[in-house]
Structure 1
């Protein structure tokens, strides 16, 4: 069954038909690049057929331009579903930083939405990771982390409510958790143990991250430790698979 006709949004017709002396293939690529950069990440683009009609060009010419954009990482083509805007991939390195620190270092503005916080009895798995007794009070914080307003990660983390009793009162939606811990409680996180696995986003998770349901994501489990060797935080976060790559430093053992 063919996809419903999807027209370009907010693009003046003359953009497609203007003749400025450039070869048609180059002009089509330039116009599509501008269209992609001005579109929301994950947005569905018009089909090759629709674009070919707008440009007055052969579908193969449009397809060649799309292939070039895909090779540059600006779009992703999904069989049977269409071509989607894909903004540049970020490298998730082994250097221990907060989300806010990481985004600022990339020249992006960190933020958050869908913020929810509560104090609850610690489930057994969370209690074990935090080094508290099951049922002890823990603060749980869940939010969608954004960079330049784009959803990047669904972050869920837990901290001891006994150790940080006023945390939720001090913590704002867009605040860096690690900065609040340092300023309010005098705690500086030094190291973390992380495991990374691949997960499929449920429809609810995908809606939070503004991607199609069941898209792949990186599931990152982190246990963070302070300078005194005490566990401070345990969390599980989902990072968009279309926006992140994982970087690791590996080496061979001595004598091999």
Structure 2
């Protein structure tokens, strides 16, 4: 009896693996960066000429590898590695992000001078109704929204502060221009909260997604309050760490 040798047929790569590899290459080459939303299943089906089930399996593989995460009703996003953000006596946004290898930017969304409410007055050691400057904005790392903030300052002590903030987008530099060359954090309170509709819009989240609220009071070297601040961090983009500096 003779044996007939058959050459082994080349093994075909499953379509879903090819799609996963192509999308992973897109991420590696910078076509999609952390925080970006991937095309919809319908768009990917059209791009690769397959059905949605095959695309779904490819996306599931990428999620298992930690490359993406899905937000119900919003889509599939390239996963971000949370940034360590120290909360200590000296909290400096730009300095903290640069130390983590990220490029920090800040956007001022609104500024006004108005009467302090009871809580603001108490935090800043002012009489209720005393004028305060209020600055609201958004903090970004590498162009991706990381937090929204509201800072309140005693207006009579720093009459030109809002102008300095508009010029520099930096609390540290603005206060230095107004004569406060150093300040430290006197207290910080952290609370988990659901994102409001407005916060979700600014942070590119869904309403109700988890965020971390930090409430702090900064004081000058003489112990006088110079800033009462609220910061709402996107919960999946930052790891708040306690720094005993």
Sort the TM-score into its range (normalised by shorter chain). 0.7 to 0.9
Q: List, as ranges, runs of 4+ consecutive aligned residues in structure 1 with deviation greater than 6 Å.
A: 57-61
Cα contact 1:217–1:239 (8 A) shared by 2: yes
Partner of 1:66: 59
Counterparts of 1:236 and 1:22, CA distance in 2: 55
Which among 211, 215, 218 is matched to residue 221 of structure 1? 215
Superposed CA deviations along residues 185-207 of structure 1, whole A, max 9, x for unmatched, are 13301234111111122222211
Cα contact 1:98–1:176 (8 A) shared by 2: no
Superposed CA deviations along residues 54-96 of structure 1, whole A, max 9, x for unmatched, are 4467877755653453345432123465422332211222343
Partner of 1:88: 81
Q: 1:104 aligned to 2:95?
A: no
Q: 1:116 aligned to 2:107?
A: no
Q: Call closer, same or farther: CA 1:129–1:79 in 2, change over 3 Å.
A: same
TM-score, normalised to structure 1, is: 0.75
Cα contact 2:74–2:206 (8 A) shared by 1: no
Instruction: Show the 5 A alignment for 1:10-29.
Output: 27-29=18-20
- Shift in Å, 1:139: 0.7
Q: 1:134 aligned to 2:96?
A: no
Partner of 2:26: 35
| Of 206-215 and 29-38, the range deviating more from structure 2 | 29-38
Segments of 5+ residues of structure 1 without an aligned counterpart are 1-20, 251-256
Partner of 2:196: 202
Cα contact 2:124–2:228 (8 A) shared by 1: yes
Counterparts of 2:156 and 2:64, CA distance in 1: 51
Partner of 1:244: 238
SS of the residue aligned with 1:135? coil
Segments of 5+ residues of structure 2 without an aligned counterpart are 1-10
Cα contact 1:86–1:242 (8 A) shared by 2: no
Q: Call closer, same or farther: CA 1:58–1:170 in 2, change over 3 Å.
A: closer
| Of 64-73 and 230-239, the range deviating more from structure 2 | 64-73
SS of the residue aligned with 1:93? strand
Q: Call closer, same or farther: CA 1:68–1:183 in 2, change over 3 Å.
A: farther
TM-score, normalised to structure 2, is: 0.78
Which among 68, 74, 85 is matched to residue 75 of structure 1? 68
Counterparts of 1:168 and 1:156, CA distance in 2: 13
SS of the residue aligned with 2:126? coil
